[in-house]
Structure 1
Amino acid sequence: MQPRHLDLLRSVSAPTVSPDGGTVVFALSRPDTAADAEVGQLWWVPADGSAPAALLTRGHRDGAPRFSPDGSLVAFLRAAPGAPAQLAVVAAGGGEPVVLTDRPRGVLSFDWSPDSRRLVLAARDPEPGRYGTVEGVGAGAEPPRRITTTRYKSNGLPGYTVDQRVQLFVVEVPDVGAEPVPAPAPGDATGDAPDASPGGAPDGAGGGAAAVPPALRLTAGDVDCTHPRFTPDGAAVTFVAARHPGRDDDLRVGAHRVRVPGPGAGAPGPGEPEEPEELVGPGADLAVREVLTTADGSVFVLAAPLGPTGRDFAGRSTVLHVLRAGAAHPLTDPASVDLGESGLEAAGADAVLVQDRVRGALHLLRVGAAGDVERLTGGPVEVTGAAAAGGTVALAVRDAGTSGDVAVLGADGPRRLTDLSAPLRATGLVVPREVEVPARDGHPLHGWVLVPETPAGAPRATLLLVHGGPFAQYTGSLFDEAQVLAGAGYAVVMGNPRGSAGYGEAHARAIAGAMGTVDATDVLDLFDGACRAHGLETQRVGVLGGSYGGYLTAWTIAHDHRFAAAVVERGYLDAELFVGTSDIGTYFTEQYFGPDPADQRARSPQSVAHLTRTPTLVVHSEDDLRCPLSQAERYFLALRRAGVDSEMLVFPGEDHELTRSGRPRHRLQRFEAVLQWWRRHLPLD
């Protein structure tokens, strides 16, 4: 794979299945360097594989499809160029979609009511006068913000969190086959069309080029209310929020339920939403991620334990719980099962589908309310999304040969309905080889090696690639970063040191309070063992990583001078500066370094940058709020003052997710700059 092949990457959303089980709908998305945007549409495919996938919609970026319970409609999120995503519906057989919202900051998620007549949605609700809600009032003309919380920003979110909280709304679904209702003409106060101006819609959601249904507000207050799900009777919506006092000082997040007025109810006035019922409160010491009520009334809760302090999050497995007698009872074992990348979908009246992180894979589990666990998939496959209906279980999958495909679960495992990465494979991909070697203390280390074919035989240089997190995992699936490096002729070693996910909670929590210790030696031990096992070059080597991987790269090159060059990307580099500037700065450093400020400084790459001799490219994004730009700026200055051959590459308008979801042209330019750095300092000629 070459950088120019970026446009061939194909990703698929979690699928949705028609109630009869016969049709699967999914969103296909891809980077488009010509448009300099991520684009995508909805596709449908027969579940029996009797026909190839076909287009259902033709929007600029359509995603997150979900069939209505009666099977007549598909709801989805549609984003026009340069605009936030809005909620839309389309007839299941195709046709012109109808947009139901014009939220100024877009719609984040949604769910169908059981009768298919309404949709609940989560959307940011900006304060009046902010974020363009008043024409002519730009960001620089807004009044000052009074900040009373230590958590007031989030990476990837333009602006602040405290003045655009996520709230829940309900909209009724119109007849998609009816003639459209025209919007009123400018200045027309007497026409027959309903008033869709911002003042006309009770929650301020109106406006735009065409009328949208009024939205009924369900929540209010200075908290984010997310992941809404209708209960099976349609009378209430469950959601996730940290509503408790003291939420500024802990990481607890609760589960709640709010009553929904019947169809046709008028929108309430300001401050009138009902007080939600608490299902899981702060006393449970959980960070709830999702809540789902199945047809038999079982309430499933996906949540990570936080310990008695409510802050002990490092390496904690996400656990599936069920509510009984007002308490959350675990159904999965956190020592061996981690649902940290899982969704939560119903699988019958009393069970759900979840995904378990296992040794660089994501396996699908079916878990019943009684605690019965059935593993539905295995092997080196990632199930990134799933849905079940009408006897069909549809999957979104990734593996070494695809960045995303749709499959259905059969007796022998997943059966593919698509082959979306065939054009990318035709460019020449390198198949990852699994490797397992012991660490210096005997702990098993697992990873992959990519060995490209070269005219000279064995590759003439080897790169160590370090993942972010730290509570994340590399997998054996198609990974554009590793493939581009291998496509340039470099052997690549990548794996999961202690602190990573996928190998049990003990493996993950080994670096809680001790980051930069065994994890730092693990990546080197894995590198050395993999090079020996596969006969790779050990004298001409380089190292690179992003975020936590940037941290380990910077820490390593200050202490080990074997590497010809390094790339430190979006790095966590200065623990002292991180506190108070990062969106997770109030808790991350203490959990991974311990509470002593002296220890935190001592284990920061910034404190040892002057020991570095390795030529280093520092790559960062201007709008990164996870690892703010100041992390890179101070580190780069320290390198230059130490006489290190170093450069800094800063991408405007990008945040911490540049390599995954940044502008396609920026992603292409980043690939080219990184390869240029390696060609200069680790040439293959």
Structure 2
Amino acid sequence: MRRPTKLLLVSLLALAAASPMAGVAAVREAPQALLTGRDLFGLEVASDPQIRPDGDLIAYVRASNDIMVDRAVRSIWLVDARTGAQTPLVAGQGSAMSPRWSPDGQRLAYVLVTPDAGAQLYVQWVATGRTARLATLAEAPGDLTWSPDGKTIAFTMLTPDDGAKLGSAPEGKPENAKWAPPLTVETRVTFRGDGEGTLKAGFSKIFTVSAEGGAPRQLTFGRFDDRGPLSFTKDGRYLLFSANRAEGWERNPAEAEIWRLNLADGALKVLTSRVGPDANPVVSPDGRQVAYVGYDDARRRGYENTRLYVMDIDGGGARVLTGDLDRSIDNPVWSADGRGVYVSYDENGSVRVARVDLSGKIETVVTGLTGAGLDRPYSGGAFSVARDGTVAFTQGSTSRPSDIAVARKGGEARRLSALNADLLGSKTLGKVEPLPVKSSFDGKDIGAWIVTPPNFNPAKKYPLILEIHGGPFSAYGPSFSTDNQLYAAAGYIVVYANPRGSTSYGEAFANEIDRNYPSHDYDDLMSAVDAAIAKGFVDSNRLYVTGGSGGGALTAWIVGKTNRFAAAATQKPVINWSSQVLTTDAYSFMAAYWFGKMPWEDPQGYWARSPLSLVGNVKTPTLVVVGDQDLRTPVAESEQYYQALQLRGVPTALVKVPGASHGGLAVRPSQSAAKASAILAWFEKFQSPPK
């Protein structure tokens, strides 16, 4: 065989150097009015707001980027719910997370992870500032939960396991000999995780530790994962948690039951038994009922609405409360009077908090929650509730990342922090507005938004970027996005949409791509582009398309269907569903729920939905971007598409983001900025003069 030509591998730095955003540093005569890649280092975002039971003080996690290490560092801050006055509680070396108030509101438990000391569990007496380290742990604990009397803290933590062994190296290794490392043997169904690599051998277990310090006590055992959130019963004798402890549990990724753990003797009782996941148990204030979430999974569809349920404390009398709400709910929190449950749910790309009474009546309490992401405008958000019904939550906008806000019962929501006021207050950002779209396929309304560049002039003609979300069962919304703002700052119109398959528009809308993805989501996206062109300020000869994960798959699908785009950038895509399902870390779920058959049982079905099947049609210059540690849509997916495009002679380049996982493609600010710059540089190569 002839030796193949050397692959073209374009580094982020080299490609970014060609970007219109890059250039030789020079002394500025005036402030930079547009958002730049370097500005990403200055962004901060709030998450995990925890309101004190009396409603007067909120603890939250603030993520700030450290330019010297190119990573986010997390600290815990307190904000006065009435005045907005801010106080740092835990800041400095390491990352602090998971603040949780004691029932009396006098103490705050939290986790601090430092390079030298590892994971440590602390409690601080907030009034005095006195701090006690309760435990130094082998792994970072999760699901911190106080007992009702404030004497105990429960948490989950990975416990080690020896792992599989098979044979051994020869005996008699000579002293100072340098033999190869021992063989690794794997028998677990799930042995890798995106962002984690090969998973540590072990299982998630439940522990308790005295709130006055001491040795943590392990309470659950066995080769199962026992997961939170955790909830104590009112008398403090039991803990409720979620787990799949059935035989063969690893092969059934969407199954779980609610369990009750006796703290005295470790005895376990299962409280639910239906087919489907039951999770997030929360005991009512009177101790007589349990709220939890779940769904019936008999159909094994790609998407099911997660619903709110209530059952008696012994597991009897289970009933659904949100059966008439065609949305997925999350994060149940009992009201102090025990007459209702606060939940969050996503409505048309925007998260809200609602109160559900025990008859199923739903009352919206807060709207406009936003999440902790920065690069793309995914919906999200977090909240907590005080005894008097005051809600603390994360609130942002299309021009600001998430801050902390509060809404008192019967009052208007009020933002308490302004983390990015100094940085973004002096910037001219792209304006984000809803874009009315009707699908050309069946006339359905499609949620969409359009971003116009800073200093926008409707009399001009602008190039357009279609930016597509991943998931595919997820949603974009009216949230801040560094990618979209950097594109807009470079002079592009940006359109993003929630095509069929997106969540927050109902179960039927999401399941239009069940066993049928990609399909008419393509028509929805093209309709969004057409709606933007119809406004009169888009140059139809300068259309570009990009997206990540599921959006990367749709980008590759689009250029196989149409030549209307001048260039494309497919990010961390799925290209060949057979190889994807057999190499991803989520293979057991994808095969069972997205196809229903194994690749060898339906090879044509897998191929028909693979963008690789359309590569023979592609003429669009297409950049391929992937993290070199991606385990969700593995690197080989991107490499085979790049090589297929090379074999066809289609202009292409392969960008690998060093050290980046699937979920971490834009975690480091320098890489997030360089990735956007590389995409812009690629699009710039294929610009035609505006007409």
Q: What's the TM-score, normalizing by structure 1?
A: 0.85
- Asked if structure 1 preserves the Cα contact closer than 8 Å seen for 2:262 and 2:268, the reply is yes
Aligned to 1:438: 438
1:684–1:23 CA distance, 2 compared to 1 (3 A)? farther
Say which is worse superposed, 28-37 or 484-493, in terms of deviation. Answer: 28-37
Partners of 2:80 and 2:152 in 1: CA distance: 27
Task: Work out which of the residue numbers 356, 361, 364 in structure 1 matches 2:350.
Answer: 361
Write the deviation string for residues 342-390 of structure 1: whole angstroms up to 9, x where unpaired. 3233321423321111011001011233423221124686771111224
In the alignment, the residues of structure 1 paired with residue 283 and residue 133 of structure 2 have an alpha-carbon distance, to the nearest angstrom, of 28
1:348 to 324, 336, 339: 336
SS at match of 2:534: helix
Q: Which residue of 1 aligns with 2:398?
A: 400
Indicate how the Cα distance of structure 1 residues 507 and 583 shifts in structure 2: closer, same or farther if over 3 A, else same. same
Deviation at 1:452, TM superposition (A): 0.9
CA displacement at 1:103 relative to structure 2: 2.8
Which secondary structure state, in structure 2, belongs to the residue aligned with residue 607 of structure 1? Answer: helix
Q: Do the aligned partners of residues 627 and 101 (structure 1) sit closer, same or farther apart at CA in structure 2, a change above 3 Å counting?
A: farther
1:115-154 paired onto structure 2 within 5 Å: 115-127=149-161, 141=181, 144-147=184-187, 149-154=188-193
Mean CA deviation greater in 233-242 or 392-401? 392-401
Residue matched to 1:236: 238
Contact 2:439 2:524 in 1 (8 A): yes
Residue 488 to residue 556, structure 1, CA distance change in 2 (3 Å): same
- Of 178, 194, 198, the residue aligned with 1:159 is 198
> Pick from 109, 133, 145: which aligns with 1:99?
133
How many angstroms does 1:290 deviate by?
Answer: 1.2
**What aligned pairs does 1:302-321 form with structure 2 within 5 A after superposition?**
302-306=293-297, 308=298, 311-312=300-301, 314-321=302-309
CA distance in 2, matches of 1:346, 1:459: 53
Change (3 A) 1:535 1:664: closer
Q: Which amino acid aligns with 2:73?
A: V
Match of 2:420 in 1: 421
Residue 435 of structure 1 aligns with an amino acid whose one-letter code is L
Is 1:601 the equivalent of 2:604?
A: no
1:425 is displaced (CA, Å) by 4.0
Q: Secondary structure at the match of 1:498?
A: coil
Contact 2:151 2:210 in 1 (8 A): yes
Distance, in Å, in 1 between the alignment partners of 2:128 and 2:36 is 37
* C-alpha displacement of 1:394: 1.4
Alignment-derived partner of residue 648 in structure 1? 654
Q: Which residue of 2 aligns with 1:503?
A: 505
Cα deviations by residue, 1:215-267 (Å, 9 ceiling, x for unpaired):
11011122211112222221111111111124244321111121113xxxxxx
Please give the secondary structure, in 1, of the residue aligned with 2:431: coil
Which deviates further from its counterpart, 13-22 or 675-684?
A: 675-684
Assess, with a 3 A threshold, how the Cα gap between structure 1 residues 376 and 214 changes in structure 2: closer, same or farther: same
Structure possessing the higher relative contact order (Cα contacts under 8 Å, 6 or more residues apart): 2
Q: CA deviation at 1:93?
A: 3.0
**Separation in 2 of the partners of 1:301 and 1:684?**
58
User: How well do the aligned residues superpose, as a CA RMSD in angstroms?
Assistant: 2.5
Given the superposition, is the C-alpha separation of residues 96 and 605 from structure 1 closer, same or farther in structure 2, using an over 3 Å criterion?
Answer: farther
**2:268 alignment partner, one of 276, 286, 289:** 276
What one-letter code is carried by the residue in structure 2 that aligns with 1:280? T
1:592 to 590, 594, 604: 594
1:481 match: secondary structure = helix
Given residue 386 of structure 2, which amino acid in structure 1 is its aligned partner? Answer: A
> More displaced, 163-172 or 543-552?
163-172
The amino acid across from 1:416 in the alignment is R
Aligned to 2:86: 53
Which structure 2 residues correspond to residues 166-315 of structure 1 after superposition, within 5 A? 166-174=204-212, 213-227=214-228, 228-250=230-252, 251-261=254-264, 274-281=266-273, 284-296=274-286, 297-306=288-297, 308=298, 311-312=300-301, 314-315=302-303
Q: 1:153 to 1:328 in 2, by over 3 A?
A: farther
Query: Contact between 1:56 and 1:94, CA under 8 Å: does it hold in 2?
Result: no
Please give the TM-score of this superposition, normalised by the length of structure 2.
0.84
- Cα distance per residue 1:409-448 (max 9 Å; x no partner): 1334311111123122432222211012211111111110
Alpha-carbon offset, residue 467 of structure 1: 0.2
Cα pair 1:489 1:684 within 8 Å, conserved = no
Q: Deviations over 1:600-651 (max 9, x none)?
A: 1121012222321111111111222211111111111111111111111112
Distance 1:216 1:236, change over 3 A: same
Following superposition, the deviation at residue 395 of structure 1 comes to: 1.4
Per the TM alignment, residue 454 of structure 1 is displaced from its structure 2 partner at its CA by 4.9
State the distance in 1 between where 2:137 and 2:564 align: 54
Stretch of structure 1 that moved more, 610-619 or 376-385: 376-385
Task: Decide which of 41, 45, 51 is 1:11's aligned counterpart.
Answer: 45
Q: 1:478 to 1:164 in 2, by over 3 A?
A: same
Secondary structure at the aligned position of 2:494 is classed as strand
Determine helix, strand or coil for the equivalent of 1:223.
coil
Of the three residues 643, 662, 674, the one matched with 2:679 is 674
**Cα separation, 2, equivalents of 1:90 and 1:222:** 35
Three-state SS of the structure 1 residue aligned to 2:523 is helix
The structure-2 alpha-carbon separation of the partners of 1:23 and 1:565, relative to structure 1 and needing over 3 Å to count, comes to same
Q: Measure how far apart 1:99 and its partner are.
A: 3.4
Unaligned runs of 5+ in 1: 131-137, 176-212, 262-272
Cα distance, 1:234–1:590 mapped onto 2, change above 3 Å: closer
Contact kept in structure 1, 2:98 and 2:144, CA below 8 Å: no
Q: Is the 8 A contact 2:542 2:688 kept in 1?
A: no
- Match of residue 16 from structure 2: none
Amino acid at match of 1:300: A
Q: Does structure 1 conserve the Cα–Cα contact (< 8 Å) formed by 2:454 and 2:489?
A: no
Match of 1:620 in 2: 626
Matched with 2:453 is 452
- Of 309, 312, 316, the match for 1:326: 316
Over 3 Å counting, the alpha-carbon distance change for 1:380 and 1:174 in structure 2 is closer
Relative to structure 1, the CA distance from residue 93 to residue 449 in structure 2 (aligned partners, 3 Å threshold; closer, same or farther) is same
How high is the sequence identity, in percent, across the aligned residues? Answer: 28
The CA distance in 1 between the partners of 2:258 and 2:272, in whole Å, is: 5
The structure 2 residue matched to 1:388, chosen from 379, 385, 388, is 385
In structure 1, how many angstroms separate the alpha carbons of the residues matched to 2:289 and 2:337?
A: 8
C-alpha contact 1:13 1:64 (8 A) present in aligned 2: no
Please say if residues 459 and 491 of structure 1, whose CA atoms lie closer than 8 Å, have aligned partners that are also in contact: no
Instruction: Count residues in correspondence.
Output: 618
Aligned partner of 1:259: which letter? N
Deviation at 1:594, TM superposition (A): 5.3
* SS, match of residue 507 in structure 1: helix
Distance apart, 1:473 and its partner CA: 0.5
After superposition, give the CA deviation of every residue in 1:273-313 in whole Å (9 maximum; x if it has no partner). Answer: 734211223xx12223411112122201112332x25x33x
**AA at the equivalent of 1:599:** G
Q: Post-superposition shift, 1:142? A: 6.0
Quick check: 1:364–1:383 contact (8 Å CA) kept in 2?
no
| Alignment partners' CA distance in 2, 1:594 and 1:221 | 30
Secondary structure of the equivalent of 2:538? coil
Deviation at 1:408, TM superposition (A): 1.2
Matching of residue 633 in structure 1 with residue 636 in structure 2:
no
Aligned letter for 1:663?
Answer: R
> 3-state DSSP class of the match of 2:594?
helix
Give, in whole Å, the separation in 1 of the partners of 2:456 and 2:431: 18
Choose 221-230 or 671-680, whichever is displaced more.
Answer: 671-680
Name the structure 1 match of 2:100.
Answer: 66
